[in-house]
Amino acid sequence: MGLLDRIDNRLGDGLERMLCSHHARRLRKLGWGDVLDDSGTGWFTPHAPVREGCRVKVLVDGEEALPEMVEAIKGARSFVHLAGWHSSPDFRPTRDEAAKTLRDLLAEAAERIPVRVLLWAGPPVPAFEPTRKRARAARTEFMRDSKAQCVLDARERTLHCHHEKLLIVDDETAFVGGMDFTALEGDRHDSPKHPADRPIGWHDAVMRADGPVVADVAGHFRARWAEIAGEQLPQPRIPEPAGNSTVQFVRTIPEKTYDFAPRGEFSALDAYLRALRSAQDLVYLENQFLWSPEIAEVLIDKLRQPPHDRFRVVLVLPRKPSNGADTTRGQLGRLLEADDGNHRLLAVTLTSHDGDNKVSVYVHAKLAIIDDKWMTVGSANLNEHSLFNDTEANLVTDDAAAAKDTRLRLWSEHLQCPVSEVDGEPADVIDRLWRPYAENHEKHRLTLLPGVSRRVDRLQGPLRGLLVDG
């Protein structure tokens, strides 16, 4: 190792310790110190209710997710509540030539039931999208000649945002995931085929839930709406049992953002850490970012001291995240070092080919499956923003059948193989198909991620967040 590499490692160690210590002090001060306790394991966090009698369905890519969300809005009988990072009034949720715009869809629903839309107000300065000018224009258009209500939430922490994506219909159904009703920064209307005839593909996921957990999602929207819109809504009705899944609604809410959570909530971070610590066979992550040193440390420990030789970690990430590319690749460098050539770790991105064209598929999904026993889908990325400073929402389930079914569908999509070909022992499928396909990326959708950056570069994103942490 050269002098520059030794200096880089020394700096990286110091910055990492400083960042993790800061997060630990902050959470202890807020009464959330147990989240970073290494002994915390299990499939559910104790910091949120666990609801039995639910039904879950994972909707993969816009072609499947958006039409189902539209049908839920059209069929609403009591109300429609929508919360998002940004929603565009002129966005057409389906590619059908006769499809209504989101504005018209909501206006039509608002003629018979209350429709409430809660969006981020945008950054105070127009440094990134959606700008406040764009958010205000969207609000005006949603309410033009419409009974729909639209409110902008400007209570974000400095340099952070309201990132959750929620749709609640009739206190009966909730959609929680990564899907925004907008074409801003990417075309959401992609399919598992990811055709290469467009500038970039888009891979996303949403979890639909029916049953008692919907009341928790609805209660979260109600609490935010009360503080921002000043309207007190009725307490959510707890739906009747709808299935056999046990589900939990977890969140990130920074402290001092809302009166209903003065000390914040960090149950999304706790859920991820507990599940990752519990992993015995497989960690499968699809995420837009991998910045978080807390997440990376758990994965590093697992790779250095694996439960057994067939333990595997598969990461599906974008080739070029919208920001933080050096940060993500720097963390990958540490993970690869921990793997030490044992091929327990595979980190890939997605590329679509059609013979003449070749385009990247942007990974916007925020999904994790562990041991085919635990699954989460939501809006939380694996970075400092989502786990500490943005508002985020995820659903978690220990429904083993749903977890395995979702994994097989995703692996079939990414490997472009029938489900029957990927339905084997995960370690065998990874070694037999995932790795060879990624190494032969000219013929397959999988591509090994680019080389890692200098180690200190991986902390640029978290350190920017540290500047504004309380």
Tokens (6 digits) for 300: 């590093």
Q: Is the bond preceding residue 462 a cis peptide, omega within 30 degrees? A: no
Strands, E assignment, 156-230: 166-169, 173-177, 201-203, 205-210
Cα separation, 169 vs 419, in Å, equals: 32
Buried b (16+ CB within 10 A) or exposed e, 277-296: bebebbbbbbbbbbbbbbbb
Cα separation, 17 vs 456, in Å, equals: 12
* Residue 19: per-residue pLDDT: 86
Tokens (6 digits) for 14: 């110091």
* Residue 18: per-residue pLDDT: 87
Strands 282-286 and 312-316, bridge-based pairing: parallel
Residue among 11, 73, 9, 18 nearest 462 (CA): 18
Cα separation, 40 vs 44, in Å, equals: 10
Cα separation, 27 vs 206, in Å, equals: 29
Cα separation, 256 vs 263, in Å, equals: 7
Helix ranges (H only) for 75-131 are: 102-110
Strand partners, 247: 51, 397
Cα separations in angstroms, 466 against 8, 157, 259, 385, 463? 20, 12, 23, 10, 5
Angle subtended by helix axes 325-339 and 293-304, to nearest 10: 20
Amino acid identity of 131?
A: T
Asked if 202 and 234 touch (Cβ cutoff 8 Å), the reply is no
Cα separation, 411 vs 409, in Å, equals: 6
Determine the 3-state secondary structure of 447 from DSSP.
Answer: strand
Determine the 3-state secondary structure of 247 from DSSP.
Answer: strand
Cα separation, 321 vs 302, in Å, equals: 25
Instruction: Note the pLDDT tens digit of each residue in 183-218.
Output: 988 889 999 999 998 889 999 999 999 999 999 999
DSSP 157: P
In the chain, the domains with their CATH numbers are: 3-49+248-466 (3.30.870.10), 55-240 (3.30.870.10)
Cα separation, 351 vs 193, in Å, equals: 11
Instruction: Note the pLDDT tens digit of each residue in 50-87.
Output: 999 999 999 999 999 999 999 999 999 999 999 999 99
* Residue 466: per-residue pLDDT: 54
State which residues of the chain have pLDDT below 70.
1, 5, 321-330, 450-470
DSSP 202: E
* Residue 330: per-residue pLDDT: 57
Cα separation, 459 vs 12, in Å, equals: 8
Strand partners, 169: 80, 173
Residue 193, number of CB atoms within 10 A of its CB: 13
Amino acid identity of 408?
A: L
- Integer-rounded Cα radius of gyration of the chain: 21
